[in-house]
């Protein structure tokens, strides 16, 4: 009877040791590692240089000296607070030979995006500044905006709205 007990003890110790080693390696495989994120939903942000290259490719630099007629629109400080004034002026007029420039004077990121809201199927089709950091500006020739009345808004703060008339 004693040999059966010793055998059972050795089997239990061996199974325990094997189970412990297997569990240790499996746990090590699934333990999160610093700087490594494995997720179906994760999309890495572009590096600063990639973001600048993408922005430069999306909106090539405009030679402002070629434009004698300029329309300046300022994104006002505090515009991200709903109810505060957003754009100055909030209604602008530009001739087709003008250069329209939005300047972000606020302390947070904004956009100037054509359309009335994110749900607008034509949102961003005429112009879209993408993210404007504080003190950054975005310019578009009015000739690239079709003549007529056009609403625009901030994609981050959709209650910020303005209007530009080209013609």
Split at pLDDT 50, 70, 90, the class of 104 is very high
Contact 149, 114 (CB under 8 A): no
Query: Tokens 């089997």 appear where?
Result: 11
- Going by their DSSP bridges, the two strands 161-166 and 91-94 should be labelled as parallel
Question: What is the mean pLDDT of the segment spanning 134-145?
Answer: 92
Residue 75: CA atoms inside 13 Å, Cβ hemisphere, count? 32
Residue-wise pLDDT for 148-161, tens only, equals: 999 999 999 999 99
Report field, pTM of the whole predicted structure over 0.75: no
What values do phi and psi take at 73, rounded to 5?
-125, 130
Percent of the chain with pLDDT over 70: 89
d(CA 73, CA 96): 16
Residue-wise pLDDT for 79-91, tens only, equals 999 999 999 998 9
Residue 109's contacts (CB-CB under 8 Å, 6 or more residues apart) are 131, 132, 133, 134, 156
Does position 70 have pLDDT exceeding 70, yes or no? yes
Task: Tell me the pLDDT tens digit for each residue of 25-67.
Answer: 988 888 888 877 777 777 776 676 666 665 555 556 788 888 8
pLDDT of the residue at 149: 95
Instruction: Write out the E strands in 105-160.
Output: 113-114, 137-141, 148-153
Task: Supply the pLDDT for residue 36.
Answer: 77
């Amino acid at each position: 009877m004693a040999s059966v007990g010793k055998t059972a003890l050795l089997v239990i110790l061996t199974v325990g040791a094997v189970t412990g080693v297997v569990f240790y390696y499996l746990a090590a495989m699934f333990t999160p590692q610093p700087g490594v994120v494995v997720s179906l939903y994760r999309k890495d942000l572009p590096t600063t240089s990639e973001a600048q290259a993408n922005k430069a490719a999306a909106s090539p630099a405009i030679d402002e000296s070629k434009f004698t007629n300029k329309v300046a629109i300022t994104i006002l400080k505090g515009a991200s607070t709903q109810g505060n004034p957003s754009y100055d002026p909030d209604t602008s007029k530009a001739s087709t030979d003008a250069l329209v420039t939005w300047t972000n004077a606020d302390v947070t990121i904004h956009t100037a995006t054509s359309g009335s809201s994110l749900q607008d199927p034509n949102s961003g089709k005429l112009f879209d500044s993408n993210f404007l950091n504080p003190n950054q500006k975005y310019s578009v020739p009015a000739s690239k905006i079709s003549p007529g009345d056009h609403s625009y808004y901030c994609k981050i703060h959709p209650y910020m709205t303005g209007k530009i008339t080209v013609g």
